[in-house]
Copies of this chain bind each other. A is one copy, B any other.
């Protein structure tokens, strides 16, 4: 049944049409040929997929993209036309048997272990561990990186927005038009929902991933009406009595009465805007949320909105609220809230106090923090460009490194210590303190026994000898599960809403100082004493002879 869950959506399959073995760098295929030609078909390898630095100057990352990786493994197969293209593209002297080999290649001999999708993760701790024949493990590199990098970056970005916005504000993703390609937009919708957004404007994302979709109207809707004569009909049926109400007359009358209350002359307000709002209210009497900044929030939009909302009230409907898409959002939202309070009091309509105020103009983390400092009355942010393009840092630098071949560990040395890889087949554990907070992530050699609750564990910095400490964990979490082996998914990824909950529960295990926006404290990632010794012995064996670098 769970296999069905992954492929039962036609659109999802269509989208994943491009996630196929050729979605890779050519060098994976040239390397595959060189491996094949040099008799390495039966060599086995272990690759780690990890990143070296948290994005957005933060100290945590949300891991996402695992489900897509599993779908990729499931569908891995070179089609005849793929093979034909490769025959044309690779040099003419490639042995034809290699293409026969590729034709039959699947992920049946791969074992994929991973951290649970939606978990907070940290630099150097592998997110995926891929084991199997050297050639196929190598061929998976680029696509797995593509699937994990942007998904994790996006989920992390969304989680950061959620943290700065606080729990009481709704967050909507509005970025499709500015996303990096159509699929960049879909990924943004999906992973911002996972990261803690409440919905998206992207209808296809709603359909494909069952994410709530939201939206009302644009400025062009308002400007498409010039005068009250542009209204096709003035009528709306009463919600309960079904009697015809003249919404236009009611709204015009309310605008006249309101002008005294909120000190704006009806002559200042746009009639085209009033006509547009009436028309929108006729179409969505129970979902009336109006854009109020087409002409002037203060002198036109608010007055027209309140007039239509009160007219709707006469017809038995409650308006939802307003959206402001320009100007000083702190000032305008407070102005709107004050107006709503005045109307609520004057006309004895307490629900008017609680109308929703949506804001949506070029918002980023800093804008939200600044609005919080200034004071505002916004209930919901619609966020586009900065969210979906991850403007502050548009790429996560996950890498995919060979750590073992035929049972022998491999280390990649570098003059930059940060780029030295941690060799061998490893396990990762998260150690928790008595207060429930995560203390440290510990990498061990797979041959070592797992750390035990209540037992002290020596945790060492992987590269600095003097940095070490004993930790006595109150809880130990083994971070890896096997998700794929013997040609099929063996742990089914969780549905989107559960991954979304996992993000929040996982974040709650982090101390606040690690999550804060300004100068967060780094979370520690350590290696066991055994792994430390192993790394440094191997380093020494592989160290170049010659000058000290």
Q: Which of B26, B91, B280, B295 contacts A215 (CB 8 A)?
A: B26
B207 and A38 within 8 A (CB):
no
A232 and B150 within 8 A (CB):
no
Minimal Cβ-Cβ distance residue in B for A419:
B326
In the assembled complex, the CB of A127 is this many whole angstroms from the nearest CB of chain B, namely 14
Query: What separation, in Å, do the CA atoms of A214 and B224 have in the docked complex?
Result: 51
For the complex formed by this chain, how many copies does it contain in all?
2
Q: Is A287 an interface residue (CB 8 A)?
A: yes
A24 and B546 within 8 A (CB):
no
C-beta contact mask, A183-219 vs B, less than 8 Å → 1, else 0? Answer: 1111110000000000001111011000001111111
In the assembled complex, the CB of A266 is this many whole angstroms from the nearest CB of chain B, namely 10
Q: Which of B38, B174, B397 contacts A25 (CB 8 A)?
A: B174
Q: Which of B146, B180, B219 contacts A394 (CB 8 A)?
A: B180
Which one of A14-22, A364-372, A437-445, A524-532 is at the B interface? A14-22
Query: What separation, in Å, do the CA atoms of A395 and B286 have in the docked complex?
Result: 35
Kindly list chain B residues whose C-beta atoms are within 8 Å of the C-beta of A270. 544
Q: Is A119 an interface residue (CB 8 A)?
A: no
B150 and A184 within 8 A (CB):
yes
A34 and B217 within 8 A (CB):
yes
Chain A residues 18 to 52 lying within 8 A of chain B, measured CB to CB, are 18-20, 22-31, 33-35, 37-40, 43, 45, 47
Which of A221, A231, A385, A545: most chain B CB closer than 10 A?
A221
B221 and A34 within 8 A (CB):
yes
Kindly list chain B residues whose C-beta atoms are within 8 Å of the C-beta of A146. 176-177, 179, 181-182, 185
Kindly list chain B residues whose C-beta atoms are within 8 Å of the C-beta of A14. 14, 17-18
Kindly list chain B residues whose C-beta atoms are within 8 Å of the C-beta of A221. 31, 34-35, 138
A10 and B81 within 8 A (CB):
yes
Kindly list chain B residues whose C-beta atoms are within 8 Å of the C-beta of A145. 177-178
Query: What separation, in Å, do the CA atoms of A462 and B7 have in the docked complex?
Result: 54
B178 and A299 within 8 A (CB):
no
B85 and A408 within 8 A (CB):
no
Query: What separation, in Å, do the CA atoms of A236 and B131 have in the docked complex?
Result: 31
Q: Is A389 an interface residue (CB 8 A)?
A: yes
Minimal Cβ-Cβ distance residue in B for A82:
B207
On whether A29 and B224 interact (CB within 8 A), knowing A81-B10, A299-B546, the answer reads no
Query: What separation, in Å, do the CA atoms of A405 and B221 have in the docked complex?
Result: 11
B150 and A402 within 8 A (CB):
no
Kindly list chain B residues whose C-beta atoms are within 8 Å of the C-beta of A29. 203, 215
A544 and B25 within 8 A (CB):
no
Which of A149, A394, A397: most chain B CB closer than 10 A?
A394
Q: Is A401 an interface residue (CB 8 A)?
A: yes
C-beta contact mask, A221-262 vs B, less than 8 Å → 1, else 0? Answer: 101101000011100000000000000000000000000000
Chain A residues 398 to 433 lying within 8 A of chain B, measured CB to CB, are 398, 400-402, 405, 408, 410-416, 419
Kindly list chain B residues whose C-beta atoms are within 8 Å of the C-beta of A40. 224, 232
B546 and A177 within 8 A (CB):
no
Q: Which of B142, B204, B267, B294 contacts A22 (CB 8 A)?
A: B204
Query: What separation, in Å, do the CA atoms of A143 and B400 have in the docked complex?
Result: 34
Q: 5 pairs across A/B with beta carbons < 8 Å?
A: A18-B183, A25-B176, A28-B218, A223-B412, A391-B395
What would 19 more interface pairs be, CB under 8 Å, given A150-B179, A391-B394? A14-B18, A25-B174, A26-B201, A27-B217, A30-B215, A31-B218, A31-B220, A34-B280, A38-B232, A82-B207, A138-B221, A142-B177, A147-B182, A150-B181, A178-B397, A181-B181, A220-B401, A223-B410, A385-B397
Query: What are the 9 tightest A-B residue pairs by CB atom distance, in nearest-first order?
Result: A14-B17, A183-B183, A39-B232, A26-B215, A27-B215, A180-B180, A389-B394, A145-B177, A34-B283
